[in-house]
Amino acid sequence: MSKNRTYSMSEGMAVAKQASNDIEEWLCKLNNTVSVENVEKIPEYQERDIDLIWKTEKGKYLVEIKGDRWHQTGNFFFETYSNKDKGTPGCFIYSEANLFFYYFVKPKTLYILPMEKTRQWFGKRIEQFKECETTTPVGKGRFYTTVGRLVPIKRILKGISEIKIYSL
């Protein structure tokens, strides 16, 4: 396992906020969107790891957003543990969302993945993907460690035909 990067809490929050803002703005402009509700700060949705409720003319979708800065790697980072020391499962493992919006803030590329199908595909192949850790300082010399797998985007696109890609 490799330890690749350390992020400050404020850096991570800035990426998440930009991702959420860009995606909400984009969804609201779509012709078939009826409403978009940000539920990131509502405890019952936090527990289920759901960020948005997106209502369209076709139905309602529960959305988990993952913002990322590292598009040039050609990988998704699927979080398997949000806090390694506490054994807290990562958002990719426990989210109750229908859709997983993986967004690279630069170059503003959004991948919409069907959550359950993606999780099943990933689960069958998890050992094939490199495991990495990131650390986030939380003050007073303390930090927490997040663990995930690097999944090549080209590979998952071949494996799951329903993934949609948009340039925002």
* pLDDT of the residue at 85: 87
* pLDDT of the residue at 28: 98
* pLDDT of the residue at 102: 98
Nearest to 154 by CA among 73, 59, 82: 73
Residue 167 forms beta bridges with which residues?
A: 109
* pLDDT of the residue at 141: 78
DSSP the chain: -EEEEE--HHHHHHHHHHHHHHHHHHHHHSTTEEEEEE-TT-HHHHHTT--EEEEESS-EEEEEEEEES-GGG-EEEEEEEEETTTTEEPHHHH---SEEEEEETTTTEEEEEEHHHHHHHHHHHGGGSEEEEEEEEEETTEEEEEEEEEEEHHHHHHH-TT-EEEE-
* pLDDT of the residue at 105: 95
Tens of pLDDT, residue by residue over 11-38, are 557 888 999 999 999 999 999 999 999 9
* pLDDT of the residue at 122: 98
Q: Which parts of the chain register pLDDT below 50?
A: 2-3, 6, 9
What is the set of domains in the chain, with CATH numbers? 2-167 (3.40.1350)
